[in-house]
Amino acid sequence: MRVVTWNLWWRFGPWQERQKAILAVLRELRPDVVGLQEVWEQDGENGDRENLAAWLAEELGMHWAWGAYGDPEAWQRRIGDPSVGIGNAVLSRWPVLAEAAIGLPTGEGDSGRGALHALLDAPGAPVPFFTAHLSSATDASAVRCRQVTTLVEFVARHRGGGGFPPVITGDFNAWPDSDEVRLLGGYKTAPALPGQCFFDVWEYAEPGAPSATWDTANPYVAGTFGPSVRVDYIHVGPPGPGGVGHVRGVRRAGDGSVDGVWPSDHVAVVADLADGADLADGADGAD
User: Which has more confidence, 167 or 286?
Assistant: 167
- pLDDT of residue 77 exceeding 80: yes
Mean pLDDT in residue range 216-222: 97
Q: What does the pLDDT average to over 248-252?
A: 97
Long-range (24+ apart) CB contacts under 8 A made by 8-11 are 8/36, 8/37, 8/38, 8/39, 8/52, 8/263, 8/264, 8/266, 9/38, 9/220, 9/264, 9/265, 9/266, 10/38, 10/39, 10/40, 10/75, 10/79, 10/84, 10/86, 11/40, 11/79, 11/81, 11/84
Model confidence over 9-52: pLDDT tens digits? 999 999 999 999 999 999 999 999 999 999 999 987 776 789 99
The percent of residues in the chain predicted with pLDDT above 70, rounded, is 95
Least confident residue range of 185-189, 215-219, 279-283: 279-283
- The residue-averaged pLDDT of 51-69 equals 98
Q: Does 258 score more than 60 pLDDT? A: yes
What integer pLDDT is reported at residue 178 of this predicted model? 97
pLDDT at 254: 98
Work out the burial of residue 234: count CB atoms within 10 Å of its CB; fewer than 13 is exposed, 13-18 middle, 19 or more buried. buried
Q: Is the pLDDT of residue 163 over 70?
A: yes
142 band by pLDDT with thresholds 50, 70 and 90 = very high
For the beta carbon of residue 24, count every other beta carbon within 10 angstroms. 15
What average pLDDT is seen over the chain? 93
Instruction: Decide if pLDDT at 152 tops 50.
Output: yes
Per-residue pLDDT band at 237 (split at 50, 70, 90): very high
Percentage of the chain modeled with pLDDT above 90: 87
Q: Which residue has the higher pLDDT, 272 or 108?
A: 272
Which of 283 and 54 is assigned the larger pLDDT?
A: 54
| Ordered domains of the chain (ranges, CATH) | 2-283 (3.60.10.10)
Give mean pLDDT, residues 88-116: 94
CA dist 56 and 101 (Å) reads 20
**pLDDT at 107 > cutoff 50:** yes
Do the Cβ atoms of 228 and 211 come closer than 8 Å? no
Distance CA(275)–CA(287), nearest Å, equals 16
Strands 33-43 and 2-7: parallel
The amino acid that residue 287 corresponds to is D
How crowded is residue 2: how many other Cβ atoms within 10 Å of its Cβ?
Answer: 17
- In this prediction, residue 53 carries a pLDDT of 98
pLDDT of residue 282: 46
- pLDDT at position 277 is 62
Examine the pLDDT at 61 and tell me if it is beyond 80: yes
DSSP assignment letter at 203: G
